[in-house]
A and B are shown apart, each in its own frame.
Chain A
Amino acid sequence: MTQISTTSRWSETTGAATTRVPEGLWLRCPACAGMIYRKQMEANQRVCPDCEHHFRVSGTERVQYLADEGSFEPMWAELTCVDPLKFVDLKAYKDRLAAEQAKTGQIEGALTGRAFIKGRAVMLGVLDLSFFMGTLSSVVGEKLTRAIEYATEHDLPLVIVSGSGGARMQESTLSLMQMAKTSAALARFDQAGGLFVSVLTDPTTGGVTASFAMLGDLIIAEPKALVGFAGPRVIQQTIRQELPEGFQRSEFLLKSGIIDRVVHRHQLRNEIARFIDYAGK
């Protein structure tokens, strides 16, 4: 059993576009540039109290924000990576994994397990952005597939919160195959009449977007989250023109007809509970 009490400073220390202000009592909001009191921001579910900017959050924090207090029961948390490719780039994959484990106290990315959301039983899956950028590995794919199968078997509403850099390169086609694996499991869940709410957070890209994240019966995204198949830099290099303002952000996806709703972090529990009620689950 993993505990959900690990306090992660991840989003301020390593988050790409968060802030460069040294860790301390105060930090600068990357959106409004205002100085905000860290504790206040954290107590506000990591949302800037001034401009509503949604900071990135770790998997454990996400579970805290979403699930009824103390209701999350982690499942399959002990699954480990077996590194079948023995992948080495400038560093060995197993060393990178060890570093991620030391940093987060987690064995692998993604937390899965039963939980309650406003008193409604759900199967919850959360990709952990703080672990290897939330990338989809064999373990993450296996955990999610088990979660989907469990939800199918027990007729539980399924909620998956995505935040991910995509498929994990270090597992090559094996991580690629997790896209097919999770998607196929969702087909069975769908045929069984299950309700799947997919929650997209900043950033959700690549193989995660191009599989389970886009297969929700209902797809909701946090405000201004970057969500796309290809990264903006790759697109810019390909088409060689400036990308429009707000391209690939939640609001752009909403306008393009790709997602159902843009939902503030504080409203996620309410919205999910409402969906569960409308679906009669």
Chain B
Amino acid sequence: MEGGAIKSILVVDDEAIMRDFLFDVLEGFEVEKASDGDEAIAKMKEKEFDLIITDMKMPRVSGEEVVKFARETYPRSRVIVVSGYSSLASVGTALGYGICAFLAKPFTIKQLRAEIDKSLSQKDVNPPGESRRENG
């Protein structure tokens, strides 16, 4: 993941409108969409994404599983959680795996871009263990 290269982003949401919107708005990135956790994990198995933007509440495999898989498989992947719930509590245990940002729906494009920039420019994300230590 060299600095100049186009960053890849995986958008995971069971809400079509959110997937479409993120796909449309994230110009200048290589964006892929997944409508649930299963599909997301399948896509991540094929390739490493620089950023994963995922919803939490999804049928079958939840966002939590996606975060866990991404962080454990690709420690360098950044994760942003978007959620319909305003409270961070809805992120639940996913927080422990190390996420860069939490965006509560509805969010502005400005907020989204700021969080993406911040996440991608972040030198490193605490690995799960350290994150827990830090939180503890």
Q: Do A and B come from one complex?
A: no
